[in-house]
């Protein structure tokens, strides 16, 4: 059982100073949940291994499961990935920002607790408030803001029902419009492989990469 903290603070995203408050908490090592274009996520600075470890505790997440990294802009990719294969470039041009997570070669300074192998999963959310937060914090290791094995939350209230007392704050941006997790494509493999179908359909992917495989 994860240790509990004080009651989780609720920050209203459209109130002045709320995004800055969320960023300050994250940069101080606290966990914060926030809306994305898919579901609510809970995150920590990607290069702060201790804070990323706290995500696993709060969610009771199995330690072998890697955590994706959210970035604000494609220009941030060199901070976490050593290369962007041509297949990834084609998908980025069509689907980013959006509900598509790409598996790419990982920079060696990305902590092992984010991903224990040679890859890192990256995404740009298609939501202004999330990208504003990311521009203040830099890359965030983030995963759905639920207890492991429970439904992914699409409202701040659903986050609170599962993680109240386990994280420092929730940035309440209203209901998430997507409602389902992102599609995950491994672009290190050749041909690229769909590891999880989500917000982007297989048909849409194959319109860009006809040879993409399904695991």
Collect the ranges in the chain with pLDDT lower than 70. 1-6
Beta strands per DSSP E along 31-99:
32-34, 41-45, 69-70
The DSSP H or E segment spanning 24 is helix 18-27
Query: What pLDDT was estimated at residue 1?
Result: 36
In a 10 Å sphere around its CB, with 0-12 CB exposed, 13-18 middle and 19+ buried, how is residue 139 labelled? buried
pLDDT of residue 63: 87
pLDDT given at position 149: 92
Distance CA 105, CA 107 (A): 7
Walk me through the domains of the chain, giving residue ranges and CATH numbers.
Answer: 9-214 (3.90.870.10)
Answer yes or no: pTM beyond 0.85: yes
**Average pLDDT of the chain to the nearest whole number:** 95
Q: Write the pLDDT tens digit of every residue in 114-131.
A: 999 999 999 999 999 999
Provide, for the chain, the percentages of residues in helix, strand and coil under a 3-state DSSP scheme, each rounded to the nearest 5.
30, 20, 50
Task: Extract the tokens encoding 43.
Answer: 């995150």
């Amino acid at each position: 059982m994860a240790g509990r903290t004080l009651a989780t603070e609720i920050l209203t995203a459209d109130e002045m100073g709320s995004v800055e408050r969320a960023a300050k908490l994250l940069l101080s090592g606290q966990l914060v949940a926030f809306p994305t274009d898919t579901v609510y996520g809970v995150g920590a600075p990607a290069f702060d291994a201790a804070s990323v470890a706290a995500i696993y505790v709060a969610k009771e997440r199995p330690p072998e499961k890697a955590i994706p990294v959210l970035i604000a802009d494609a220009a941030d990719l060199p901070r976490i990935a050593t290369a962007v294969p041509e297949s990834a470039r084609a998908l980025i041009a069509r689907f980013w920002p959006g509900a598509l997570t790409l598996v790419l070669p990982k920079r060696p300074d990305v902590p092992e607790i984010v991903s224990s192998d040679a890859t890192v999963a990256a995404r740009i959310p298609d939501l202004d408030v999330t990208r504003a937060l990311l521009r203040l914090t830099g890359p965030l290791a983030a995963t759905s803001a639920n207890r492991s094995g429970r439904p992914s939350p699409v409202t701040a209230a659903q986050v609170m029902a599962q993680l109240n007392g386990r994280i420092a704050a929730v940035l309440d941006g209203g209901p998430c419009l997507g409602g389902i997790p992102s599609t995950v494509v491994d672009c290190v493999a050749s041909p690229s492989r769909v590891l999880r179908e989500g917000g982007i359909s297989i048909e849409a992917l194959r319109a860009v990469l006809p040879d993409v495989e399904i695991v």
